[in-house]
Amino acid sequence: MPELPEVEAVRLELDPVFTRYRIDDVEVRRADLRDRFPRRFRARLFGQTVEAFRRRAKYLLATLTSDETLVMHLGMSGWLNVSPPGTDAPEPAKHDHVIFHMSSGAVIAFNDPRRFGLMTLLTPTRLASHPVLSTLGPEPLSDDFDAAALARACRGRKTPLKIALLDQRIVAGLGNIYAAEALHVAALSPMRAAGTIARVTGEPRESAYRLVDAIKQVLTRAVARQISERYRSDRFRVYDRESEPCLRPDCGGTIRRRTQGGRSTFYCPRCQR
């Protein structure tokens, strides 16, 4: 499943040909993805200009001149392929389910073999009350996400720290891969209680500062690598490296895997405490 850095890379690729441009045509090549497309989906998009384009957690949000927001989620296997202005767009592929023709000259195809993606239109009221978007915590790359915010959210929690980081109410969009990576950078065990990074008063301990810095560092580097290297295991410190040596200098430990919350956690038991 694409994680936050991959979704942000898609946003960065689309932004120059999507934002401030008009949707000249939309091809809707099936009736549904994860859910059915909303009523009059094509008609409500046709002729609208994208006023703003942003990412919220793993969702892409395009604000339209109609005041509606086009909400997109890549699901398990979705991707948005861009044919830049001045190039010939290829014939639609088998799993190109929605194709946007922009006034910029770009053609943008939403491809999703497993059809777990989502594409819908929401009014401002429905966007504000969305069951997922309305409950999200701070964006991990924003100034709102700092050691104080993380410590307050984790104060008193006995749940494992790795599980807490995957709680979208605590931090928005952080997924399994990059939570494991950040914990290794911060030298913190994924099994330790989340509340241990906060004092009784809710003030952050030194470990909270380390962890926030590590999350921002790991995500920033992952976004920079962008699309082509998104799942290369040799780019990771611990993820998918079970039984391999720890990459921390002078550690000498071996990466282990265990299951937490139904997902694989990779960590070094020697240097992560």
Residues 162-210 have pLDDT tens digits of 999 999 999 999 999 999 999 999 999 999 999 999 999 999 999 999 9
Residue by residue, DSSP assigns 44-88 as HHTT-BEEEEEEETTEEEEEETTS-EEEEE-TTT-EEEEE-TTSP
- Asked whether the predicted pLDDT for residue 231 surpasses 70, the reply is no
pLDDT for the residue 266: 98
At the topology level, CATH places domain 147-267 in Helicase, Ruva Protein; domain 3 (1.10.8)
User: Hunting for tokens 């099936």 — which residue is that?
Assistant: 30
Active-site residue among 2, 5, 160, 204? 2
Q: Provide the token pair at 51.
A: 């006023």
- Per the listing, tokens 């611990």 go with 238
Q: In angstroms, rounded to a whole number, what is the distance separating the alpha carbons of residues 3 and 175?
A: 6
Structure tokens at 240: 């998918």
In one-letter notation, the amino acid at residue 32 is: D
Helices (H), the chain: 4-18, 41-45, 124-128, 147-154, 161-165, 176-185, 206-225
Q: Does domain 4-135 have CATH number 3.20.190.10?
A: yes
Q: How confident is the model at residue 229 (pLDDT cuts 50, 70, 90)?
A: low
Lowest mean pLDDT among 128-137, 234-243, 245-254: 234-243
Contacts of residue 253, defined as CB under 8 A and 6 or more positions apart, other chains included, come to 245, 246, 268, 269, 270, 271
Contact status, residue 193 vs residue 157, Cβ threshold 8 Å: yes
* pLDDT digit string, tens, across residues 141-151: 999 999 999 99
> Is residue 2 annotated as a catalytic residue, yes or no?
yes
What is the rounded average pLDDT for all residues in the chain? 95
52-61, 129-138, 148-157, 230-239: range with lowest mean pLDDT: 230-239
With 60 as the cut, is the pLDDT of residue 232 above it? no
Name the phi and psi angles at 99, rounded to 5.
-130, 125
**Domain spans of the chain, in order of start:** 4-135, 147-267
The rounded radius of gyration (Å) of the Cα atoms in the chain is 20
Marked catalytic residue, from 22, 44, 263, 270: 263
Catalytic residue among 6, 8, 55, 58: 58
Residue 96 clears pLDDT 60, i.e. is over it: yes
In terms of Cα–Cα distance, which of 57, 54, 53 is closest to 1? Answer: 57
* Known catalytic membership, residue 68: no
Give me the DSSP letters along 144-157: T-SHHHHHHHHTT-
The reply to whether 158 belongs to the active site is no
Q: What is the mean pLDDT of residues 201-223?
A: 97
Residue with tokens 């009736």: 31
- pLDDT for 99 equals 98
Query: What is the phi-psi region of residue 95: left when phi exceeds 0, alpha when psi lies from -120 to 50, beta otherwise?
Result: alpha
Q: Examine the residue annotation and report whether 263 is marked as an active-site residue of this protein.
A: yes
Are the beta carbons of 150 and 195 closer than 8 angstroms? Answer: no
In this predicted model, what pLDDT tens digit does every residue of 39-78 receive, in sequence order? Answer: 999 999 999 999 999 999 999 999 999 999 999 999 999 9
Fold agreement between 4-135 and 147-267: no
* pLDDT score recorded for residue 2: 84
Does residue 230 have a pLDDT over 60?
no
